[in-house]
Structure 1
Amino acid sequence: MPAAPSSLVPAVLAKLGPLHQHDTGRLRAHLQRVPDPRSPRGRWYPLAGLLLICACAVVSGARTITEITEWGQRATTTVLEHLGIRRHLPGRRRAPSQATLTRLLAAIDGDALDAAIGAYLAGHDHTGVTTTGLAPQPAIAVDGKALSGSAHRQQRHRHLLSAVTHAPTMTLAQREVGTKTNETTAFRPLLEPLDLAGAVVTFDALHSVKDHVRWLVKEKKAHYIAVIKGNQPTASAQLKALPWEQVPVAHTASGTGHGRRESRSVKTMAIAANLGGIAFP
């Protein structure tokens, strides 16, 4: 069970966005699936209650364990009761200490927590209304990023690979990419739990690997948009050899990015499968 560095937990919980009172019941059901890393002896706070406090604090702007603890200390008795915090012996509900939260967030299974949050989000549409089942969003982007604020003197930035819906923007799943591996090996484990049937998955050239694409099409029943560059020389040569000069521009967009003015044009072309096509499924 991979432990989650405490700096990663706020990033996982921040995906929740605004939480309303009626949301916490559904969220609790998903959080109860997360394995409890604590010893059975001496448990006072239920795991789901502690994670709900962390979630409410993070969506309210807390980004450190200290800020999460302070949010809990300021919470009213009614709020603590709603989140599932039991009464202590004197009869009043007491928020967890910073030491309690620190130990929990350092030991929690980060992948299991992220899967629970992703499952909760997958049950909502962009209006916040619960949907039936876990129907995928129309388009999902796979992209990696360095976690801001995670670097220290002896440690590089932690790197996350995420599956994010195009519009509205919502993170469905994310995995940490370890120092001894890379984004490519995390591609399938990231998307495996998601229902991708009928969805369009987009990714950059790093993930434009035949095995990934074949798995998306045959196993996950998904569509895809792949970026082809020099790392796929055969497919790149086949694409460049197509008669693009005979195809009209379908769309042009201009904007400023990476410190320069950019203009991008889109052309589309269908290729009959019996003509050989491109070396991709």
Structure 2
Amino acid sequence: MLANLSPIDPHTIPDLRTYLRAIPDPRFLRGLWHPLDAILAICACAAASGAKTIEEIAEWGQRAPLRLLTALGVRPHPLHYRRSPAACTIDRVLCRINAHALDAAICAYLADRHHATTATGDDGDGATDNARPALPAIAVDGKALKGSARLDQPRRHLLSALAHHPPLTLAQSEVGAKTNETRHFLPLLQGLDLAGRVVTFDALHTVKEHLKRLVKGKGAHYVAMVKGNQPTLHAQISGLPWGRTPIAHTRSEKGHGRRESRSIKVMGIADSLGGICFSHARLVLRVHRRQQETGKKQTRETVFAVTSLDAHQATPADLAAYVRGHWAIENSSHHIRDVTFGEDACTVHTGSAPRAMAALRNLAIGVLKSAGADNIAKTTRAIRDLPEHALPFYGIGYEPDLSGT
């Protein structure tokens, strides 16, 4: 499986530990033995090997040879052997770590990897920029950590900004129990350079103030879904003469036991004659999706959207790709975290550990996708029993001992 990945030269990839060293150490100096960046590097390598729990992370370190632990920065023991951190040590670190700083370090690392791949015209999955819309896109979406809920505390909820291709997490924040995603939308995107990019999001974030800040303050464009939370806008768009509007683009796909077809109709705001007035909106979209699974009835869904892109900036195929790219985040990120990494089944709930574990999963998915892995589960299984294969993904050089000693 590793042979199918892009060639990995650790000397051309940023060293993850450089970013991890910016995270403040939450531990007391007294009795401190393992460096924080070494512990977090072990966690990152274990996550790329498919580790789902803190115990599995510790087991990965126990299987690692001494030369590998040396490369990761684990300090030697006075009796001249190196010992990886125990599960209780890793648990204390993840529970007490500054989760915001960890997210910032990981997202900065993935953003630099993303800029490097987009600069070369390769998005990590073998496709070039010519196969994608001209303007890169970022999706904003939320996800609940179901296993973190307890009788006395609700489940933790995270809001993330992810690049469409490849699906790298560029920013992440935790949504408080007494707030909702809408209040965290603008702060989440505050530190990102959105000029010349397209931001896609669900109807929950289709708020006039958000759209105005994106276009005027950030120089970005948007593709915003419209549902019942904007009743006036939804009524105006759904009441347009879509029956007389020709289909602008269609696409069909078949795989995984289902057949799916999508069509999109596009109408200019000036041509709608509906008095639609929404922040910097130029086009309205109607996307119709039909899905047929083997042995089941066909399902149909129609959604509406508005965008600040004009007809000369994006073709109907581009607009369909932006909508499809936003929907694909569920499969390319959230589904992998739940199924491959068992996020929903993970019962970690203390302190910062739930968010830290989610950040490590984002990191693992990001680096593997950047390397060209089209099946994360197969890739993690391929490197699970060979710990040294995880290091090059993070730019950490390692020379295996070929002498057998």
TM-score above 0.5:
yes
Cα distance change on mapping 1:95 and 1:19 into 2, 3 Å: farther
1:57 aligns with 2:46: yes
Q: TM-score, normalised by structure 2?
A: 0.56
Residue in structure 2 matched with residue 83 of structure 1 by the alignment:
72
Secondary structure of 2:268's partner?
coil
Residue in structure 2 matched with residue 4 of structure 1 by the alignment:
none
Aligned 1:35-54 pairs, distance under 5 A? 35-54=24-43
Cα distance change on mapping 1:25 and 1:140 into 2, 3 Å: closer
Secondary structure of 1:115's partner?
helix
Counterpart of 1:54, as a letter, is: C
Cα distance change on mapping 1:153 and 1:230 into 2, 3 Å: closer
RMSD over aligned CA atoms reads 3.2
Structure 2, unaligned stretches of length 5 or more? 1-6, 121-134, 281-405
* Structure with larger RCO (C-alpha < 8 A, sep 6+): 2
Secondary structure of 1:219's partner?
helix
Measure, in 2, the Cα distance between the counterparts of 1:271 and 1:224. 15
Secondary structure of 1:267's partner?
strand
1:109 aligns with 2:108: no
Measure, in 2, the Cα distance between the counterparts of 1:73 and 1:130. 38
* Pairing partner for 2:88 from 99, 106, 112: 99
User: What's the CA shift for 1:77?
Assistant: 1.2
User: What's the CA shift for 1:148?
Assistant: 5.1
Q: Is the 8 A contact 1:160 1:177 kept in 2?
A: yes
Cα distance change on mapping 1:195 and 1:127 into 2, 3 Å: closer
Aligned 1:57-206 pairs, distance under 5 A? 57-125=46-114, 138-147=136-145, 149-152=147-150, 155-206=153-204
Residue in structure 1 matched with residue 374 of structure 2 by the alignment:
none
Residue in structure 1 matched with residue 347 of structure 2 by the alignment:
none
Residue in structure 2 matched with residue 3 of structure 1 by the alignment:
none
Counterpart of 2:144, as a letter, is: A
Q: Is the 8 A contact 2:136 2:197 kept in 1?
A: yes
Alpha-carbon displacement from aligned partner over 1:172-203 (angstroms, at most 9, x marks no partner): 22222222111111212222222211111100
User: What's the CA shift for 1:271?
Assistant: 3.2
Measure, in 2, the Cα distance between the counterparts of 1:23 and 1:102. 32
1:208 aligns with 2:206: yes
* Pairing partner for 2:20 from 31, 36, 52: 31
Counterpart of 1:42, as a letter, is: G
Measure, in 1, the Cα distance between the counterparts of 2:8 and 2:159. 24
Counterpart of 1:57, as a letter, is: A
Residue in structure 2 matched with residue 279 of structure 1 by the alignment:
278
Q: Is the 8 A contact 1:57 1:71 kept in 2?
A: yes
* Pairing partner for 1:221 from 201, 207, 219: 219
Bigger fraction of residues in helix: 2
Cα distance change on mapping 1:252 and 1:170 into 2, 3 Å: same
Cα distance change on mapping 1:245 and 1:235 into 2, 3 Å: same
* 77-86 vs 20-29, which moves further: 20-29
Q: Is the 8 A contact 1:238 1:278 kept in 2?
A: no
Counterpart of 1:216, as a letter, is: L
Measure, in 2, the Cα distance between the counterparts of 1:113 and 1:19. 25
Secondary structure of 1:123's partner?
helix
Structure 1, unaligned stretches of length 5 or more? 1-17, 132-136
Counterpart of 1:278, as a letter, is: C
User: What's the CA shift for 1:38?
Assistant: 1.1
Q: TM-score, normalised by structure 1?
A: 0.79
Counterpart of 2:177, as a letter, is: T
User: What's the CA shift for 1:36?
Assistant: 1.2
Measure, in 2, the Cα distance between the counterparts of 1:94 and 1:269. 64
Q: Is the 8 A contact 1:239 1:278 kept in 2?
A: no
Q: Is the 8 A contact 2:208 2:279 kept in 1?
A: yes
Residue in structure 2 matched with residue 248 of structure 1 by the alignment:
246
Cα distance change on mapping 1:244 and 1:113 into 2, 3 Å: same
Measure, in 1, the Cα distance between the counterparts of 2:52 and 2:95. 15
Q: Is the 8 A contact 2:111 2:168 kept in 1?
A: no
Q: Is the 8 A contact 2:250 2:264 kept in 1?
A: yes
Counterpart of 2:279, as a letter, is: F
1:266 aligns with 2:264: yes
Cα distance change on mapping 1:158 and 1:254 into 2, 3 Å: farther
Cα distance change on mapping 1:235 and 1:280 into 2, 3 Å: farther
Secondary structure of 1:278's partner?
coil
User: What's the CA shift for 1:262?
Assistant: 6.7
Cα distance change on mapping 1:19 and 1:39 into 2, 3 Å: farther
User: What's the CA shift for 1:164?
Assistant: 1.6
Measure, in 2, the Cα distance between the counterparts of 1:102 and 1:61. 18
Measure, in 1, the Cα distance between the counterparts of 2:253 and 2:40. 41
Residue in structure 1 matched with residue 364 of structure 2 by the alignment:
none
Measure, in 2, the Cα distance between the counterparts of 1:113 and 1:23. 23
Measure, in 2, the Cα distance between the counterparts of 1:24 and 1:69. 26
Measure, in 1, the Cα distance between the counterparts of 2:193 and 2:234. 30
Secondary structure of 1:173's partner?
strand
